[in-house]
Structure 1
């Protein structure tokens, strides 16, 4: 047995067709807005229904958050194509990092550690001790250590932009991670909505079959009772 889809006018087997009465009311009303002649007895193919669901989801999102961004369109497409959105954002960012960016990360990590602070103070003490005690304040950098101040100023001037470079890359990773989390949460919410719709569809289909079985049993009981009365 086969039937015709009301929307695309193509022939499909009965097991690939649904009727308007089997759809959830919000989706049924949405299809009715697009196709006013569609009713509860009209057939709709499963693949056509999938496209209508996609448009329905996009309409819901526009109603709630306005114009869709590329991220939201990507979420809708992943739901329709059964694609997985989860990915390791940090690993991807590290793989795409250039050598200079990796070096900036290492410098920022080392510069913000107690190891760097300990080595830095140790070198300062050694520098001052050599000039004051060993060279009797007549060495290569006597008090007030003008050369040391110049070295420290140059170190700070070089270290600051390197650390800022690493922080900018970390902020970019955080933005990418936040956008990824938003897409995952949005997809989960939409998947739950679609899951409710599928469960409702299964329940309606199951109830219809049970009613058919019950009607058949009633007919059989009626025939049996009629035969018993005749006897």
Structure 2
């Protein structure tokens, strides 16, 4: 099919010129024109568009926001404290004795790096949600337009059938010799 078909579909289904279509509307009409499905998996569509940094941010956020990370990190913290207070402190070899200044520095650095990465992941999730809403709109628009096309076809079939019935009735009246004035 050609661009002429796209212009015809835009005018007949949406009452717009093809140049005035929103991107989602154009995508739907192209799918109708080419007889392609409109629905897409949001996760697949978002993953296709994701950069390496965005995928890395998602991984870091997934790990940093898990119970496994929280429990493991708590064990490391307690291990650090026990090592520096009881074990190495007993031999006067503690490299970070209480109040654990080096540990506080490391935690601050971790938080300073982890927070923006988690924010990047949240921004990507928001973009994924916007993409999902756009794809949902396309599917809903496609369904609505297809329903309109079906109604139009049904209306045409009904009108053709009514015309056949009227013609048959006229033929029957003509055969019986009944005029319009007699009816």
Aligned residue among 33, 45, 53 for 1:100: 53
Residue ranges of structure 2 left out of the alignment (5+ in a row): 178-183
Does the Cα contact within 8 Å between 2:43 and 2:128 map onto a contact in 1? yes
In the superposition, relative to structure 1, how do residues 91 and 52 fare at CA in structure 2: closer, same or farther (>3 Å)? Answer: closer
Give secondary structure in 1 for the equivalent of 2:89: coil
Deviations 1:104-125 (A, max 9, x none): 2111111111111101111111
Residue ranges of structure 1 left out of the alignment (5+ in a row): 1-47, 62-66, 223-231
Write out aligned runs for 1:72-221 (5 A): 72-136=25-89, 138=92, 139-220=94-175
Q: Which has the higher strand share?
A: 1
Aligned residue among 8, 12, 15 for 1:59: 15
Does the Cα contact within 8 Å between 1:58 and 1:76 map onto a contact in 2? no
Q: Measure, in 1, the Cα distance between the counterparts of 2:95 and 2:40.
A: 56
RMSD: 2.7
Aligned residues: 170
Match of 1:35 in 2: none
Give secondary structure in 2 for the equivalent of 1:136: helix
Give secondary structure in 2 for the equivalent of 1:135: helix
Structure 1 length-normalised TM? 0.64
Structure 2 length-normalised TM? 0.79
In the superposition, relative to structure 1, how do residues 69 and 96 fare at CA in structure 2: closer, same or farther (>3 Å)? Answer: closer
